[in-house]
Structure 1
Amino acid sequence: MTTTTSPHTPPRSRLGHAYGEQLARNGSAGRPTAAALESATLRLAYQDRFLNGPAFLGGSELRTLVGDLHTVYGLLRSLPERGFGGSVTALAAAVGLEPSQAALITRSARTGSLLPLGRADLYHDGSGFKLLEFNITSALGGFENADINRAMLAYPPLDAFVTRHRLRYEDTLGHMVRTMYAECAANIPAGRAPVVAVVDTVENFAVVGPRLRVFAEKLADFGVEGIACDLGEITYPNGRPTVAGRTVDVVFRYFLPEDLTDPVAAAQLEPLLTAVERGGLGLFSRLDAELYGNKGTLAMLSDEEHRDRYDAAELACLDRILPWTRYVRPRATDPGGSRVDLLSHARGHQHELILKPTLLHGGNGIIAGWTVDPAEWESRVASAMDGPFVLQRRVRPTAEPFPDGAGGVRELFLNWGLYLGARGTEEDGYAGGFVRGSADPAVGVVSMGSGATVGCVFHGGDS
């Protein structure tokens, strides 16, 4: 695989190249990650695994990408009407949710509103960004994104570069809070700070509780009284959800539908949903958000057989940003639009395909064809047949220039986590971002679990 940019090909990151050249020209020394490593919040989230510089997005590049992501978001939200007769329940069944999960999601869809909020996970293949997954949920992580930007700006050469090029960054947590206020307006009290419980299941909270406590504390910066707790800590005197003696106005949801197959968690959720249905509690975000962020819904958008649902502009967007993605079924259309036996296609294109479960998160259960032998690959795909799995065409990320910490530049391959919020903001829906970088172009998934390091994103600079 070629990892360098031809002299005749414009680099994806002109700003990244310019920053590297500035460091080399000025002989800049020092560690831009020093302030990040001194932050207890960032150490808790990422230990010491930080890139030696930020990633950059040009302003026009960002505007085009955010426009495409809003188009995809709108198409995902319209799937019940476009393909399932308006039924959220039918869509839930189609993506593989169990009946009990579908029932909870359907109940949630009848309450409050649902505004754009999500994280797009993308690779850039040298010609454009490709959308691997679209996590549409309140359980996004990323609330420390702006902390990484601020920590990196303590490095004088970067601060000077950002100022010279008039670059900016977005505070992801601020966008989340504004979206929460808008969605749960009926439950936000007048004259005092709202009490917001950041909630996960008992089992999950035992692992992520320390980080969610930091999250709850950071909400104070936005005029919110935050409490981090698990579902089992909420009581309901007189039907009002209460934690540690404080009545809760809004639950900031960190549990996922996959967590609710546990009968104990489902039972603990029941009085919470009842309080939401009665109007005494805001839920952010609604559980049906998970439907639209399911990997299977991207397969529905990608599938050749559904192209008559979309107009020319929508099709152009899908062709631009979505890699070929199909449910694992005996017959499907290949990238050229021909009907094929999918298992035979998977065998013949093993090194260009990745198998993903639709109902898991965080990279769990993903098998990259190029990382296993043919026998295991065939067995995995065959076992996934007719189940909640998709096959997706491999996207080969282009190399990006990063300081190597020793005065030079090295090439890394990035998984971009870019956040989408409601339109109407200065950046028209861009809610900040971060990147995960790997030196291995053949890694199955560029993620913290596969050894990636993390960095922040600055944008702008077109002029």
Structure 2
Amino acid sequence: MRTTPRQARRSPLGRAYGEQLAAHPAVGDPTAAARDSAALTLAYRGRFLPGPAFLSDTERRSVAQDLHTLHGLLRSLPERVFGGSLTALADAVGLNPHQAALITRSARTGSLLPLGRADLYHDGTAFQLLEFNITSALGGFENADLNRAMLAYPPLREFVARHGLRYRDTLGCMVRTMSAECAAALPADRPPVVAVVDTEENFSVVGPRLAVLAEGLADHGIEGIACHLGQFTYPQGRPTVAGRAVDVVFRYFLVEDLTDPAATAPLEPLLVAAEQGRVGLFSRLDAELYGNKGTLAMLSDDRHRDLFDADERACVERLLPWTRYVRARGTDPGGSDVDLPAYARARQTELILKPTLLHGGSGIVAGWEVDAAEWAARLASAVDGPYVLQRRVRPAAEPFPDGAGGLLDLYLNWGIYLADPDVVGEDGYAGCFVRASTDPAVGVVSMAGGARVGCAFHG
């Protein structure tokens, strides 16, 4: 499918790259170097896009600024909406009392700097935020390796050099954030020992990829170890694994993994060690409280409009599609009070139902992908539960080389990383990777749904 002029306007660089390949056909596989990388193949199963995505400098700066504003609003919700209570916010987004207690304890240790990955669609006019993953457990951390691998393809390397394009090293930005958050735990006389840690259950699946992350830390002067919570021992109260005392725990387990007190018993001595200053914890457990989909519904909710100033409201309206908790009553996009389930049934093809606590597309129901009976049943079971409704965003087509001298229309989920500008420099933009589908009516562009993966260059 060739890209139409309207669709091409968002990415003039993408169209220019396709035209370069058409005018000067090149031999070779642009993804060959990526396929030769064991780490990238492990992460993405060889499903690589034939070219990168492109962001103009103006787009990059604009979306980074909006995401920083939104991040600040999310962090301010306990004070603005709940009288400063983290526990009340945790309850409102659907966490159980055990999870809320863990979050409250963790929030009393160390600091929490901006770090996250926003998942966005571009509708042809602007970026629209689908969710904001605020945590240390960010997928796609290998994206700079993908940039470097793609630059092994001579036509792309020449194009990037001619247009003065760049990319950010996301893992480097994460490491700098970790070092700033956990500065008190870092030794001054030797390289720090950092354990990349998940639960025992999760580690049986993701352990090889976390080992890649641990190995990548060596490029940043860190001794990395990949392990699960059950592998720690605590001589003199300090977490130790494989005979090595750990300075910082790089957390890859999520709050959604911590629902059962018995199952999370191995976490208790780690939290005690963090509370006593014996180890740094990156990032604190309360990070995900702010990145919960329910908090996006709070920003979107008309009842909270008066809590934000004009510039803050404009940012929310610009970046965030209409999002509401699934309740018996709510407000429509015009602010009118409505029977929310009835409103959602009548607009099934324009809405998507999401659980607030899960990630990776789990539990999401796109109204346009199910019949009316299933949609009604899912809505009914979601009322008063930890679910939100969000307005459907239709991603615009993006031009990619089709390998035959033309351009292929693909539909992207943009994963844009954000960090503290004071820590990583510039405007806090910390890199990007994209997942792509050939389906214009896609519900969720994800690896689980068969998406292909690519990197991004910016002006």
The C-alpha deviation readout for 1:240-273, integer Å capped at 9, x for no partner, is 1100111011000000111111334311000000
Aligned to 1:434: 433
C-alpha distance in structure 2 between counterparts of 1:226 and 1:426, whole Å = 25
Partner residue of 2:265?
A: 267
Q: CA deviation at 1:14?
A: 0.8
Structure 2 Cα separation of the partners of residues 142 and 179 of structure 1: 16
Q: CA deviation at 1:32?
A: 0.8
Contact 2:8 2:15 in 1 (8 A): no
What is the rounded CA distance, in whole Å, between the counterparts of 2:319 and 2:5 in structure 1?
Answer: 23
Which of 320, 333, 336 lines up with 2:334 in the alignment?
A: 336
Partner of 2:72: 74
Query: Are 1:101 and 1:261, in contact at CA under 8 Å, matched by a contact in 2?
Result: yes
1:443 is the counterpart of 2:453: no
* Superposed displacement of residue 76, structure 1: 0.2
The answer to whether residue 303 in structure 2 is matched with residue 305 in structure 1 is yes
Identical counterparts, % of pairs:
74
Q: How far did residue 406 of structure 1 move?
A: 2.4
Give the counterpart of 1:104 among 91, 102, 105: 102
Amino acid corresponding to residue 257 of structure 2 in structure 1: D
Q: Give the TM-score normalised by structure 1.
A: 0.97
Q: Find the counterpart in structure 1 of residue 138 from structure 2.
A: 140
Supply the distance in 2 between the matched residues of 1:109 and 1:408 (Cα, whole angstroms): 52
Aligned with 1:37 (options 30, 35, 42): 35
Aligned partners of 2:367 and 2:375 also within 8 Å: yes
1:140 aligned partner, one-letter code: L
Aligned match of 1:241? 239
In the alignment, the residues of structure 2 paired with residue 343 and residue 326 of structure 1 have an alpha-carbon distance, to the nearest angstrom, of 11
- Alignment partners' CA distance in 1, 2:141 and 2:414: 15
Whole-angstrom distance in 2 between the partners of 1:251 and 1:448: 27
Post-superposition offset of 1:5: 3.9
SS at match of 2:264: helix
Aligned residues: 458
Contact 1:443 1:450 in 2 (8 A): no
Quote the offset at 1:58 in angstroms.
0.2
User: In structure 2, what is the Cα distance between the partners aligned to 1:5 and 1:405?
Assistant: 18
Deviation, structure 1 residue 374: 0.2
Paired position in structure 2 for 1:294: 292
Asked if the contact 1:202/1:265 (under 8 Å) is kept, the reply is no
Cα shift at 1:238: 1.3
2:263 aligned partner, one-letter code: A
1:414 aligns to what SS in structure 2? strand
Q: Is the 8 A contact 1:96 1:387 kept in 2?
A: yes
- Using the alignment, how far apart are the partners of 2:402 and 2:450 within structure 1? 17
Provide the C-alpha distance between the structure 2 equivalents of 1:3 and 1:431, rounded to a whole number of angstroms. Answer: 32
TM-score normalised over the length of structure 2: 0.98
| Conservation of the 8 A alpha-carbon contact between 2:98 and 2:260 | no
Distance 1:233 1:332 in 2: 47
Q: How does 1:9-408 map to 2 (within 5 A)?
A: 11-408=9-406
Code of the aligned partner of 1:104: L
Distance 1:426 1:276, change over 3 A: closer
Q: Could you tell me how far apart the structure 1 residues matched to 2:106 and 2:39 are?
A: 33
Shift of 1:28: 2.5
What is the match of residue 456 of structure 2?
457
In 1, Cα distance between the equivalents of 2:267 and 2:8?
A: 52
Distance 2:59 2:243 in 1: 49
Does the 8 Å contact 1:201/1:265 carry over to 2?
no
| Other structure's SS at 1:167 match | coil
Gaps of 5+ in 1: none
RMSD: 1.2
2:183 maps to a residue whose letter is: A
Query: What SS does the corresponding residue of 2:263 show, helix, strand or coil?
Result: helix
